[in-house]
Structure 1
Amino acid sequence: MDIYYKKRKEHDLMSNLLFSVFPNENFIDLGLYQYGWEQCSPSHSFGPAARNHFVFHYVISGTGRLMADSSDGNTRTFQIKSGQGFMLFPGQVNTYVADKELPWEYTWIEFDGLRAKEMVSLAGLTKDMPVYHAASKEMCRNMMDEMLYIARHSNETPFHLIGHLYLFLDCLTRSAASLKLRQGERIRDFYIKEALSFIEQNFQNDISVEDIAAFCGLNRSYFGKIFRDTLGKPPQEFLMSYRMAKAAELLKLTKLSVRDIGNAVGYPNQLHFSRAFKNIYGISPRDWRSQNGMSY
């Protein structure tokens, strides 16, 4: 836990702050990390720093400033007030400061997973445009309610909280003003959803990028471009990462042999499976299991 979160924990009992760490890392597609609520003191600031995951803040009241690196590496400043929000991106250097006279009250959620970039993209939030604007007040209110529910119910079960994470992301994407997309963007998002659905249902089989593109009715080149533009990595790399994430889940939660797990995620050749796993996690499946597996 970094210094920032240690400080958060030290102040956890204060009446102006709620802060929790999600206790379960077994959720692959979308997972929680940290979440909470805070009534900031005047001029309260954090940064400059970079996070490992996506972090979304929704401003309930007050105002403040976000200074964040854009896609070209230059720092941009955004004034953000109540009813708006801001997304922090993995690896992005940022600083945010509450106003001296009207410090903001906000609630936040840190999340990540294989589907996280897709959801953030659907909301229209990027490093160059990190500020959330609501097109629907009702959906915005629902989104805030979901965030506050998670912040105030840290003792609920992991599955219960993950369910509310999905509801929060549904409200975020549906309420964002940028959802008024051009028709071409709507079609692109449809193809990406179709591709992800195909991968989820067939990752254990011998499928290729050509198979996924053909399922979507697209040529391989165009499919690869829109997939990479939307999810930030080529489809072949995403498919391998998805398979290895599922393999890690099986290594941690089951007693299946490494060979059986390789077969289960589409790698009948154990040597090829071990190489692919090491390429993603840096160590062999056996070593990863010895470090992360559950004790029975």
Structure 2
Amino acid sequence: MSNIMFSVFPNENFVDLSLYQFGKEECSPAHSFGPAARNHYLFHYVLSGTGRLMADDSRGATQEYQIKSGQGFMIFPRQINTYIADRELPWEYVWIEFDGLRAKEIIEIAGLSPDRPVYHAASKDLRENMKNEMLYIAEHGQESPFHLIGHLYLFIDYLSRSTASMRLSSSGKMRDFYIKEALNYIEQNFQNDISIEGIADFCGLNRTYFGRIFKETIGKSPQEFLLSYRMAKAAELLKLTSLSVNDIGNAVGYPNQLHFSRAFKNVYGLSPREWRNKNRMVK
């Protein structure tokens, strides 16, 4: 039998990065999972032993990877995959499932993709720090959500800095600069009547070019990201405050309550009032 520690993160609304589940498992020989697909990003780090990952690449072709202790592998949303422990030296691993508006950008910085899912560290010290953050999260599931999210950010920092791909080209750095400028502009002005053209103008870019590099980097179009950001902020206000639905709509850039309610339901599947009744913390 496998020796497993498993926790599910509470239903909290963290916008940039959020945890979904995490744990640690000492697998029995030939223990397997899949074929299956996840809704979020799932990273495994191998503590000891070895095993195999079979995962679809960007073209939908299944690739096989042999992964050993000191390495890791990323499973991507909606990617079909199977992973199997070795019969002679089964692996023990720790895992974290996470997602958020910044997840795709961070994973690309770390050099991981459906075509390159295997984690190889360029720095042993940073790799050890990353492993320790993962173990901390796995072993402290009883801590508060904010405490665990803090350690998730530390894990992400060590993950990205421990890979050789941090040495980006100058063009990559310039693209990152534009995207960070756009994200900062959205974060500071989402409650105002802003347009994608206005964001592109702020960055000094052609709208078409801006839209293309934004989607390539973030994984969402600027319109999709702005909508997701506004609705996530609205969900926080619905859950944590007693503000009226109309006031919350105004606070996230929707002066028309009908338009706000329609947009919110398209994202969350419930009207703002229905969602608040199910999730609110302020009675």
Task: Supply the distance in 1 between the matched residues of 2:203 and 2:158 (Cα, whole angstroms).
Answer: 27
Residue 180 of structure 1 and its aligned partner are, at CA, apart by 2.5
Q: 2:86 aligns with which of 99, 103, 128?
A: 99
Residue 183 of structure 1 and its aligned partner are, at CA, apart by 1.9
Residue 161 of structure 2 corresponds to residue 174 of structure 1: yes
Deviations 1:136-159 (A, max 9, x none): 111111100110111111122211
Instruction: Please show how residues 250-265 of structure 1 align to structure 2 within 5 Å.
Output: 250-265=237-252
Residue 26 of structure 1 and its aligned partner are, at CA, apart by 2.3
Q: 2:96 aligns with which of 109, 116, 120?
A: 109
What letter corresponds to residue 212 of structure 2 in structure 1?
K
Instruction: Quote the sequence identity (%).
Output: 73
Partner of 1:76: 63
Task: Supply the distance in 1 between the matched residues of 2:148 and 2:266 (Cα, whole angstroms).
Answer: 32
Contact 1:24–1:158 at 8 Å: present in 2 too? no
Partner of 2:35: 48
3-state SS of 1:101 partner: coil
Deviations 1:110-140 (A, max 9, x none): 1111111221121121111111111111111
Partner of 1:189: 176
Partner of 1:198: 185
Question: Where in structure 2 are there 5+ consecutive unaligned residues?
Answer: none
3-state SS of 1:51 partner: coil
Instruction: Please show how residues 103-182 of structure 1 align to structure 2 within 5 Å.
Output: 103-182=90-169
Residue 214 of structure 1 and its aligned partner are, at CA, apart by 2.2
Partner of 1:33: 20
Residue 223 of structure 1 and its aligned partner are, at CA, apart by 0.9
3-state SS of 2:65 partner: strand
Instruction: Please show how residues 206-217 of structure 1 align to structure 2 within 5 Å.
Output: 206-217=193-204
Contact 2:54–2:63 at 8 Å: present in 1 too? yes
What letter corresponds to residue 280 of structure 1 in structure 2?
V
Farther-moved stretch of structure 1 (210-219 vs 66-75): 210-219
Q: CA RMSD in A?
A: 1.5
Farther-moved stretch of structure 1 (224-233 vs 20-29): 20-29
Residue 195 of structure 1 and its aligned partner are, at CA, apart by 1.4
State the TM-score, normalizing by the size of structure 1: 0.91
Partner of 2:76: 89
Farther-moved stretch of structure 1 (151-160 vs 255-264): 151-160
Partner of 1:58: 45
Partner of 1:4: none
Partner of 1:278: 265
What letter corresponds to residue 71 of structure 2 in structure 1?
Q
Instruction: Please show how residues 199-238 of structure 1 align to structure 2 within 5 Å.
Output: 199-238=186-225
Residues 214, 88 of structure 1: alpha-carbon distance in 2 compared, 3 angstrom cutoff:
same
Residue 253 of structure 1 and its aligned partner are, at CA, apart by 1.8
What letter corresponds to residue 71 of structure 1 in structure 2?
S
Deviations 1:160-179 (A, max 9, x none): 11100000001111111222
Contact 1:55–1:110 at 8 Å: present in 2 too? yes
State the TM-score, normalizing by the size of structure 2: 0.95
Deviations 1:77-133 (A, max 9, x none): 111111111111111111000111111111110111111122112112111111111
Number of equivalences: 283
Task: Supply the distance in 1 between the matched residues of 2:72 and 2:126 (Cα, whole angstroms).
Answer: 14
Contact 2:50–2:91 at 8 Å: present in 1 too? yes
What letter corresponds to residue 209 of structure 2 in structure 1?
Y
What letter corresponds to residue 16 of structure 2 in structure 1?
D
Contact 2:239–2:282 at 8 Å: present in 1 too? no
